[in-house]
Structure 1
Amino acid sequence: MSKGFKSNVIIMVLLILTIGVITLGIKNDKKARAKDIEDVKIYEAKNTASAKKPGESTNKKADKEKEDTLDVYGKLQSGKDIKILVVGDSIGKSIGKTKDDAAWDVKVKKLIEDKYKNKCTINNISEDSAIAYKGYSEIMKNDIKDFDLAIVCFGGSDQYVTTKDQFSGTYEAVIRQLKKKNAKGEIITVLENTMENKDFVDIIKDVSKNYNLDMMDGIAAYNDSPLSKKDMLADKLHPNDKGYEVYANAIYKIIEKNVDAKKTVNKELQNSKNTDADAFDNFNFVTKYDSNDGFDFKDDAVISTKDSSEINYKTSASKVGISYLDMQGGGNIKVYVNGRFVKTIDTSSDRDIKKAKLVADNLKGENTIKIRSNGKTVKVFGIMTN
């Protein structure tokens, strides 16, 4: 074997060994870098875990599931955001206030946010001069269910325009429908300072007690205030800014007391106190009638300016109500069942107010409901049945 050949073989072997050493070094370097990256991740994870607040989880999915199970008091204890629904009449709407931030619900929102450092969202569907049946119809039409706390303010208008039996059924229906639509939602009832009819006062107290609900007693709150009643009223009925502050403080104290006591919302629905309340479970809002003579369709309603315009609707429902508009120059609506006159509704008002009223109750079999105008402007949004 020549010396040249041996030299070439040696050079080739050295070259192979050099390549092998380089390759092995690259692999080891990659492993080392991978280990370094993994070490950094572990270090960052440990530091993130140690930096989180006490009681705070790093599992966002678990946090969301836990938050979904919390009621209003659990959320406030944890500083979580809450949603409040207000359903009521003119006091629910804070009629009589002189500025927006004087409304009692706005004040309650501020008191909650200042104390619990959370965000409080208010959805107020109260209407001027509304009765409990109007609140019930709004709850059913809007399928309301996304709230942590509902505050119910009815009775002040009902005591003048509805019977005791009608109020008993419709007021309890409001409570039951709120519970049925959102079992974990808390409800606080309000006994308004304007309540004068003892029968209606007793209904609110009895229904609140039956469902284990806290009731804000506006009559007692006014009596206990160092201010005179005159100083808390905007007119003969409605509170003024100072009066609504009394409302806000009294409602907030109930919420604060329940948070401190770590109260939990009872998700069970108690048996109805008034057996008639369950008859409101079904709800139909009718805008297509069996016959129409003289009413014109306009936007979301039918309107007549002529005398004796008629709408007829056949139904087998036991309860029938109508949704209509009070307005300047409004006329009378006459209601008939099977041709028999049952009620007149005066829709004249100094301002536009959308209302709903129960016009026929305890009906049996199939009946024809007739709505007739009297020559002035009448606006009807629909007929409601159970």
Structure 2
Amino acid sequence: MTSITKRKTFLILTSLVSAIAILLLSLKPDTAIMDDQTLYEKLNNGNTIYYLVVGDSIGRGAGAESRRDSWYAQLERLIKKRYGADMQGQHISQSGATAFEGLYKLKNTELIYPADIIFLVFGENDRKYMEPEEFAKHYELLVREAKVRAPKAEIITFIESPLAVQEFANQIQAVSSHYGATAIDMRKAYRQSGAEVKSLNRDQVHPNGKGYELYAKTILQTLDEFPNRKAPSTKEALYVQEDAPLHVTTSIETQQGFLYKEPYWTTGKKGSSIRYKVQGNTIGAIIKRNPNGGMVDVFIDRRYYRTINTNWPLVKERYIIIAAGIESGSHQIEFITNDHGHRFNGLDEKPFQLAGVISATINSKGTAE
């Protein structure tokens, strides 16, 4: 290669490197500005909005005639039409879920997107398993976990349309206000719509496509009026003494009639029993629900506490709440099957499948250890 050719090659490479450097430098400020934008600015600039839904059956859009009719799919179309912005979502929702299950799943799920909005959709199921004061503590821990996982995200909470217990709605509103989350009361939106509830619902709980249209339009109105602000930072806790870790206990004390098939202890025999020892005042379990699922009695410290139903139309691992607000300390938790299950012969799923017990000590603010 001649010296002239070498010099030309050097000049070309130098120019190319310079051009790339200039391009990268020119992009860097824009990237920094985009990362620093508020939700209000991202919407009005037409940037992609990333959202996370942590919720129950309404959170996942159950009752809609199709996915297209779910509240979040309708919201995506409304946002695109109003702001020219796309929305991309990640969903951590499960029919029948409580705030306890939402907290566990949020803690153990890798987030795909840097969320701009987190929607929390709970309350209707929680009222079946705990008192409002216990719900408030679980809900607060969920909000705090959401802020830890996505500190730049705005949090929008729902007071679901079927929630009839006002004390639960009050707690959602109180926790939301404390942390700067935006609470949307869909009961009020239903009333103000002037429509009959039966025209908005698939059943007594779940909205239909028309009901979810009302959800989507109410959220859009909220976003239209959203302040131009950075998401509020985490504040001192309102109800809980500290952020309680959730412990999973997989080692058993004793069992009768169970077989181990990793990671589950399984049985299809009535009267089978399995016992764990845990620490805490809040207790849940990791079970696999399925169409063969049966009824199981739960005993805490050898006293009957409640019966759980592991029957479900789909095969699904669940993280269920068993007890909240019991005395802190060491407890024996025993599960005893009280029927044989086996609704569907030929389905290779046992009536009761248990992977472990979840426990936590959740103290009220000001409570001594």
Q: TM-score, normalised by structure 1?
A: 0.78
Three-state SS of the structure 2 residue aligned to 1:248 is helix
1:307 is aligned with what amino acid?
A: K
- Aligned residue in 1 for 2:88: 121
Q: What residue number does 1:385 align with?
A: 359
The answer as to whether partners of 1:153 and 1:189 remain within 8 angstroms in 2 is yes
1:67-146 equivalent positions in 2, closer than 5 A: 67-142=34-109, 144=111, 146=114
Distance in 2 (alpha carbons) for counterparts of 1:363 and 1:162: 14
Cross-structure match for 1:247: 215
Measure, in 2, the Cα distance between the counterparts of 1:317 and 1:355: 16
Deviation larger for 234-243 or 312-321: 312-321
Note if 1:263 corresponds to 2:229: yes
Change (3 A) 1:303 1:257: same
Higher-Rg member (1/2): 1
- Aligned residue in 2 for 1:193: 161
Amino acid paired to 1:92: G
CA distance in structure 1 between the partners assigned to 2:183 and 2:281 by the alignment: 31
Residues 365 and 217 of structure 1, relative CA distance in 2, 3 Å threshold: closer
Cα distance in 2, alignment partners of residues 299 and 271 from structure 1: 41
Larger deviation: 357-366 or 209-218?
Answer: 357-366
Tell me what 1:210 maps to. Answer: 178
CA distance in 2, matches of 1:178, 1:189: 11
Secondary structure, counterpart of 2:212 in structure 1: helix
- Relative distance call for 1:358 and 1:67 in structure 2 (3 A) is farther
Give the Å deviation of 1:37.
7.9
Gaps of 5+ in 1: 1-25
Distance between the aligned counterparts of 2:12 and 2:100, measured in 1? 67
Q: Secondary structure at the residue paired with 1:275?
A: coil
Structure 1 pair 292–249 and aligned structure 2 pair: CA distance change class (3 A): same
Instruction: Give, in whole Å, the separation in 2 of the partners of 1:230 and 1:308.
Output: 43
Are 2:282 and 1:319 equivalent residues in the alignment? Answer: yes
Structure 2: gaps (5+ residues): 341-350, 361-369
* Pairing 1:168-187 to 2, within 5 Å after superposition: 168-187=136-155
Question: How far apart, in 1, do the equivalents of 2:145 and 2:37 lie?
Answer: 21
Closer, same or farther in 2 for the Cα pair 1:301/1:106, shift >3 Å?
A: farther
* 1:274 match: 239
Is residue 284 from structure 1 mapped to residue 251 from structure 2 by the alignment? Answer: no
Rounded to whole Å, the distance in 1 between the matches of 2:246 and 2:292 is 31
Go from structure 1 to structure 2 and tell me whether the alpha carbon gap of 1:332 and 1:78 turns closer, same or farther (over 3 Å shift): same
Equivalent-residue separation in structure 2 for 1:292 and 1:332 (angstroms): 17
Instruction: Give the Å deviation of 1:153.
Output: 0.9
CA distance in 1, matches of 2:210, 2:171: 28
- After TM superposition, list the pairs within 5 Å mapping 1:301-312 onto structure 2: 301-312=264-275
Say whether 1:335 aligns with 2:298.
yes
Deviation at 1:171, TM superposition (A): 1.6
Q: Is the 8 A contact 1:137 1:356 kept in 2?
A: no
The structural deviation recorded for 1:106 is 1.0
Query: RMSD between aligned alpha carbons?
Result: 3.3
The residue number in structure 2 matching 1:3 is: none
SS at match of 1:251: helix
CA contact (8 A) 2:121 2:157 kept: yes
Contact map agreement 1:73 1:264 (CA 8 A) in 2: no
1:365 partnered with 2:361: no
Match of 2:197 among 207, 229, 239: 229
- The runs of 4+ residues in structure 1 deviating greater than 6 Å are none
Task: Report the AA paired with residue 368 of structure 1.
Answer: Q
Indicate whether 1:149 and 2:117 are aligned: yes
TM (normalized to structure 2)? Answer: 0.81
Could you tell me how far apart the structure 1 residues matched to 2:334 and 2:196 are?
Answer: 49
Q: Does 1:346 align with 2:309?
A: yes
Structure 2 equivalent of residue 21 of structure 1: none
Give the whole-Å Cα distance in 1 for the aligned partners of 2:46 and 2:236: 34
Quote the Cα distance in structure 2 between the aligned partners of 1:96 and 1:227: 18
Deviation sequence 1:152-204 (CA, Å, 0-9, x none): 11111222333222212212221111112222111000111101111111111
User: How many Å separate the matches in 2 of 1:73 and 1:298?
Assistant: 51
What is the alpha-carbon distance in structure 1 between the residues aligned to residue 134 and residue 123 of structure 2? 12
Greater mean alpha carbon deviation, residues 78-87 or residues 360-369: 360-369
CA distance in 1, matches of 2:179, 2:193: 28
Taking the aligned partners of 1:174 and 1:71, their CA distance within structure 2 comes to 23
Report the CA distance shift for 1:142/1:287 in structure 2 as closer, same or farther (over 3 A).
Answer: farther
374-383 vs 291-300, which moves further? 291-300
Distance 1:318 1:231, change over 3 A: closer
Residues matched between the structures, number: 346
| Residue 374 (structure 1) aligns with | 338
Structure 1 contact 168–203 (Cα < 8 Å) conserved: yes
Identity %: 25
Aligned partner letter, 2:83: Y
Map residues 28-67 of structure 1 onto 2, 5 A cutoff: 59-67=26-34
